[in-house]
Amino acid sequence: MTQLSPFHLAFPVDDLAAARAFWGGVMGCPEGRSSDEWIDFDFCGHQIVAHLSPASGDRAANAVDGHDVPVPHFGIVLGMDEWKALAERLTKAGTSFAIEPYIRFEGQTGEQATMFFRDPAGNAIEMKAFADRSKLFARD
């Protein structure tokens, strides 16, 4: 298996202070470099950058396993214990879930724990976990 390289993702926010409080505080992502227009965060070893961009545009959804999944979205595949701890931390922080934490595709090859929520700027985040991470790309 090839070692994963960190990805870089830049996304729009309309309030850098709110982004800092959410990504740094609630999500626990260490802050990297920043300016008056952007902030780097360490998102599980990946570089995400909140860019000040007040006009973020419309958001869409697709039906997946009986839920309206926000598009676009991004996230990390965590270990199951990390996922459960994050779900608990987000719940305690009063996070409003777009899709509450649950097990998707139960009993199927792609069975996974998933949850969707939005950051203060409305960006959709999916955090998921597989009981067997080797099934991440399995088809059947």
**Which CATH number characterizes residue 75's domain?**
3.10.180.10
**For residue 129, what pLDDT is reported?**
95
Question: Looking at the whole model, is its pTM more than 0.85?
Answer: no
What's the rounded Cα separation, in Å, for the pair 12 and 19? 10
User: What is residue 59's DSSP assignment?
Assistant: -
H/E segment holding residue 85: helix 80-92
What's the rounded Cα separation, in Å, for the pair 77 and 137? 12
131 pLDDT higher than 90? no
Does a structural domain hold residue 45?
Answer: yes
Does a structural domain hold residue 105?
Answer: yes
Token reading at 106: 């139960």
Residue bearing the bigger pLDDT, 54 or 21: 21
With tokens 């958001």, the residue in question is: 59
Residue 48 near residue 9 (C-beta atoms within 8 A)? yes
User: What is residue 22's DSSP assignment?
Assistant: I
Mean pLDDT of 35-54: 91
How open is the CA angle 132-136-49, to the nearest 5 degrees?
A: 115
Does a structural domain hold residue 74?
Answer: yes
% of the chain residues with pLDDT over 70: 94
Does a structural domain hold residue 140?
Answer: no
Say whether 113 sits in a helix, a strand or coil. Answer: strand
Does a structural domain hold residue 33?
Answer: yes
Number of structural domains, the chain? 1
Paired with 76 in beta bridges are: none
Domain that holds residue 83: 8-53+65-135
Does a structural domain hold residue 59?
Answer: no
With tokens 């298996």, the residue in question is: 1
Task: Please give the mean pLDDT across all residues of the chain.
Answer: 90
The residue count of the chain comes to: 140
Does a structural domain hold residue 60?
Answer: no
Residue 116 near residue 126 (C-beta atoms within 8 A)? yes
Does a structural domain hold residue 44?
Answer: yes
Position 83 confidence tier, pLDDT thresholds 50, 70, 90:
very high
